[in-house]
Structure 1
Amino acid sequence: MRLRQRAQHVFGALALSGWSALGCCPVAAEAMTACAAEQEARGSIGACAAACIAEDPGAIALRAGPCLAAEADFWAQAASSAMADLQRVLDSETLALVEQGAAAFEGYRDAICAAESAAWPGMTGAGEAWAECRMQVTAQHALRLESWLEALE
């Protein structure tokens, strides 16, 4: 239930702002919200981005980046929200350790995704490789924080 509420918040805010990633191919907020709610029980990382991309297979080169970014943004918000909840329930010693890990996470994610993108030198897939990596790594981080939170509740 927690991820469904976060999906509605994140994708709803994008729709209200008229968000259109990279100025093209608007990602349907309702579709991404529904997908996130459906995938919540399965924890299927990337399914919503894949469904978004599949909406217009002829424009895959234009849709992949925005769709991957939209799902990555969802997972980043889920991680941020879980972290805020953890701050309220953890003792100070454990919280300090979790905050250290969270601080190091962004550097790790950016470095590992830059390495993955570098495997596509001069190719058009470099941006999509970075975006998919960001989505995958961020989702794993969010799910880990969520699982800690659920264990404490």
Structure 2
Amino acid sequence: MKLKEGNFCEFGARASKDLITFTYQTKTRKKTYIYIYDIKTYKLIDKIDVTSEYRIGLVCSISVQGLNPDEICYLIYRDGKETLDEYSTRIVGREVWNDKSRKDNEYKVYSAIATDNYTFKYKKPGILPKDMIIYKLHMRGYTMKHGLNRWDKGNYKG
């Protein structure tokens, strides 16, 4: 596996040719790693130490050569804990509903890289902008439960 400085302009993990570039932000300057897992078994394959040479301020970007984006998933160790990549293009680990074997992996979900480029059938919607109706909705006013205080409406409690 060969490492080099990544592209600080685009966050998330991006695959191009034989490189995968991981770019993410931390809250502190503590040690950070990228844990690489096998996408089928979720077993740890490698741990990439993201040193200060791959960092500008609180943003880290590293390009890795020698990984197949279709065979790996990853988690970022930052600020003292393993986290998902908030800019991930794909999440894996919950493909089967109520899968009992997920307990073995402590119910983790992993970031992955979407490599398939979906082509839409139509490039633009068939409705003219002047004929469109756009609805604006705020979650606090769209809660299923009744009788909640206003702070519990529109979130996971309501």
| Structure 2 length-normalised TM | 0.29
Higher normalized strand content (fraction of residues): 2
Which has the higher Rg, Structure 1 or Structure 2?
2
| Structure 1 length-normalised TM | 0.29
